[in-house]
A and B are shown apart, each in its own frame.
Chain A
């Protein structure tokens, strides 16, 4: 089991903005094992969603992804693939807003059954039975009745469960999650996270979960990647990255998160703004906002340097964080 499920190396996404090229994703490399949950954290505009969507070729109009993407559906060596080959055959995706992602003119049962019918050639009756099984699997109460409902008749939490059932209908090896719980209440978010964790174990499915909420990622993920200005600045086991950041950006982000376990100490925030994807400066992109920046920070080239067996950081002076 040493082969990875997914390998992404040197992914770049270029887009046009008012006629000028911008690179919102600039050199992302990552690997994913079978059954692993990888979290990608970052603020708006960090490129986390575009990275995720590049895997399925779902970029906005005018977006071009370049880079080496390899995926192994059958357990062998990961091989290059076309996004259209893995749609419905190994990789599925769920989105943030299930109301816009579900077809409002289709009953939810038919929506879930569409994948098995198209990709697995199931008969209409078999696909319907399968849809009801899947609805039961994702914890939708009275699935027979709900299968005949329209998306607008369901609550936000149930819609997201329908999305997950739809994504699971083609038995994916990899589930891509694009902020699927952001629009939900905490109690429903909690249910969905529990469900994803359970499905991962039961179906041996890997998950890439993109979110701006580090606490959510910490609860769910095995490994965590932090993105800033189109690059991964730190990656490693989720608990280690959260408790002992190796990049000043991660540390600053953690200091901005209000925690309800702690007392109401002053939050730090991060001064300044993220750089514009049309004009990235040379050197470390976080340097202008970094409290620990030194002269050589503006000279360095981007590279994720391993700090231990399972961790890597793009910071050239991670030792600054070790000092109390």
Chain B
């Protein structure tokens, strides 16, 4: 059985600086590898979380999947069919995205009803006379009162706007919903019901969810599987409970150690990860985490580790030379 969404060796480069200046200097034009050879699969009705620090390429992966950035190499396949940047309406419909800041991603001059109705009409989701009723149903789905349909985004609170953002994505009956830091800007008391909403939408609509976040706790709450990304590549990929209970990559372990926890006091001067990620323009040789890794050995500088399955569990993969063995033993 093929997965619903398959990302194969995805690479996205951004041209930075001046190509002419580089040619005058006799060098190739500088490319920033935002996403470097990333592969993962998403099964139907599965919820996959992508975690990583800012600049690791997690949003670029999302944008490449919905076709907002050009793919340099590799492919994104939906039901076995490769997706290109130019897509027809029917394909666009199947993958929808919810953005971080609903304040800027909603059109301020349209009421909620116009925002939703426009999509329903353009994509001919329902016959024209059923549009108002469908708008109402969408509001029910995201647990907003129908009385907000004539309202403008600026009149609504952050949580309400985010629900409109979700309703807008759901209007097209997508199979895959991509949530890119969709709760990062919300207060916890507002964030909690939105996370619950994502979970209930999955149950009720059988929606496939790709949830992108820097917040490990949030990802744990909504995902069946987690993909940990560092500097544009996948470091670890596995079932949520396993990755959280038994992280195999030193980077995953460090991220978890760094996240604030209840009932633990910060020790003076101690931190889980020292230094900062190297520049994506000047990646270290071999494993790109080795410059900050507590386990780094000679082999780590010499060769880049590939994603390797656990000897006991084919679902859990780690890109570390010592992922399944301890270097000290």
**Residues B262 and A215 in contact, CB atoms below 8 Å apart:** yes
* Residue numbers in B under 8 Å from A187 (CB-CB): 53, 254-255, 258, 271-273
**Residues B264 and A219 in contact, CB atoms below 8 Å apart:** yes
* Interface range, A side: 35 or more
Measuring CB to CB, which residues of chain B are less than 8 angstroms from any residue of chain A? Answer: 53-54, 157-158, 187-193, 195-196, 214-218, 220-222, 244, 254-274, 276
Which residue from chain B places its CB closest to the CB of A289 in the assembled complex? Answer: B189
Known A198-B268, A257-B217; contact A189-B192, beta-carbon cutoff 8 A? no
B329 smallest CB distance to A (angstroms): 27
| A273 interface residue (CB < 8 Å to B) | yes
A270 smallest CB distance to B (angstroms): 4
* Residue numbers in B under 8 Å from A301 (CB-CB): none
**Residues B217 and A259 in contact, CB atoms below 8 Å apart:** yes
* Residue numbers in B under 8 Å from A215 (CB-CB): 259-262
**Residues B271 and A191 in contact, CB atoms below 8 Å apart:** yes
B102 smallest CB distance to A (angstroms): 15
* Residue numbers in B under 8 Å from A264 (CB-CB): 220-222
A89 smallest CB distance to B (angstroms): 26
* Residue numbers in B under 8 Å from A186 (CB-CB): 53, 214, 216, 255, 258-260
**Residues B189 and A198 in contact, CB atoms below 8 Å apart:** no
**Residues B192 and A269 in contact, CB atoms below 8 Å apart:** yes
* Residue numbers in B under 8 Å from A155 (CB-CB): 276
| A216 to B193 CA separation, bound complex (whole angstroms) | 22
| A44 interface residue (CB < 8 Å to B) | yes
| A253 to B262 CA separation, bound complex (whole angstroms) | 13
| A155 to B274 CA separation, bound complex (whole angstroms) | 14
| A193 to B257 CA separation, bound complex (whole angstroms) | 13
Most chain-B CB neighbours within 10 Å: which of A158, A187, A252, A260?
A187
Query: Can you list 19 A-B contacts (CB < 8 A)?
Result: A43-B187, A43-B188, A44-B158, A185-B214, A186-B258, A187-B272, A194-B266, A198-B269, A212-B188, A214-B188, A215-B259, A257-B192, A257-B217, A258-B217, A258-B218, A267-B196, A269-B191, A269-B196, A270-B189
| A197 interface residue (CB < 8 Å to B) | yes
**Residues B54 and A185 in contact, CB atoms below 8 Å apart:** yes
**Residues B262 and A194 in contact, CB atoms below 8 Å apart:** no
| A220 to B263 CA separation, bound complex (whole angstroms) | 11
**Residues A256 and B272 in contact, CB atoms below 8 Å apart:** no
| A218 interface residue (CB < 8 Å to B) | yes
- In the A-B complex, list the 7 residue pairs whose CB atoms are closest, starting with the nearest: A269-B192, A267-B192, A215-B260, A190-B258, A269-B193, A198-B269, A198-B268
- Contacting A213 at CB < 8 Å: which of B214, B260, B269, B274? B260
